[in-house]
Amino acid sequence: MTTSLSLPLSLRPLSQPVDHHTRFEPEPVSDEVLEAIADAGAVGERAALWAETVAARQGDQGHQRVLQMFAAAVRQVLGREILPDGDGEITGELRYALDAYVVLGATAAGCAPDLTTAEQLALVVVGAVAAAAPSTVLGDPVRDLPALCSVIESALILAEA
C-alpha cells in the first residue's frame, strides 16, 4: 500500500489529520547579511545619483526620461529588492529598465544620448550588476553583494574620471 503523504491535501483521505496551525517562521537574518544589504542600498543610491546627473545634462527630454527610469530602477533594486527571504528575482519591468539599451536612449530622439565611452560602460555594468544583485540571497550575500558592489563602485570611478 502506498502512503498518501505524497498526495495533495485535497486528495488525502480524511483519516489523515492536517495541521492548519503550523506556522513557518522565516529563518533569522544575520547582522552580516543585513549589513551587506544596507551597503548595497548605499551603493545603489550613489549609482542612481550618478545616473540622474548624466540624465540632467542630456539635451533631449526622451533621453533624460530613459536615464531617470534607469536611475529609479537601480535605486529600487539595490535598495528594496534584495530580500533575505526572497526568490532572487526582479520584475520584468525592472529588468527592462536596467537593460543595456539604456545607452541607446529614447528611440524617438533620432540620435544617441550624450555619453562618454566610460559612461556607456558604467551604465551597462551598473544595470547588469543591479539586475543580478537580488539573486545573491540564494547563495552567500555576505560574500557576493560586496563583490558586486565593488564592481559598481569601480565603474562609477572610471566614468567620473
pLDDT in tens, 121-158: 999 999 999 999 999 988 999 999 999 999 999 999 99
Q: Is the pTM of this model over 0.85?
A: no
Please give the Cα distance from 137 to 86 (Å, whole number).
7
The answer to whether residue 1 is domain-embedded is no
Lowest-pLDDT range of 7-11, 64-68, 70-74, 94-98: 7-11
The answer to whether residue 145 is domain-embedded is yes
Q: Give the per-residue pLDDT at 42.
A: 97
Give the Å distances, CA to CA, from 72 to 69, 127, 139.
5, 11, 26
Please give the Cα distance from 9 to 18 (Å, whole number).
8
Tell me whether residue 101 is exposed, middle or buried, using C-beta atoms within 10 angstroms of its C-beta: 0 to 12, 13 to 18, 19 or more. Answer: middle
Q: Which residue has the cell 550613489?
A: 46
Q: 155, 122 in Cβ contact below 8 A?
A: yes
The answer to whether residue 24 is domain-embedded is no
The answer to whether residue 38 is domain-embedded is yes
Number of domains the chain contains = 1
Q: Give the per-residue pLDDT at 84.
A: 86
pLDDT tier, 45 (very low <50, low <70, confident <90, very high otherwise): very high
Range of the domain at 105: 30-160
Please give the Cα distance from 31 to 41 (Å, whole number).
15
Q: Which grid coordinates are listed for 108?
A: 524617438
Please give the Cα distance from 36 to 52 (Å, whole number).
24
Q: Give the per-residue pLDDT at 22.
A: 60
The answer to whether residue 112 is domain-embedded is yes
The answer to whether residue 4 is domain-embedded is no
The answer to whether residue 86 is domain-embedded is yes
**C-alpha distance across the termini of the chain, in Å:** 72
The answer to whether residue 6 is domain-embedded is no
Q: How far is CA 119 from the centre of its chain?
A: 20
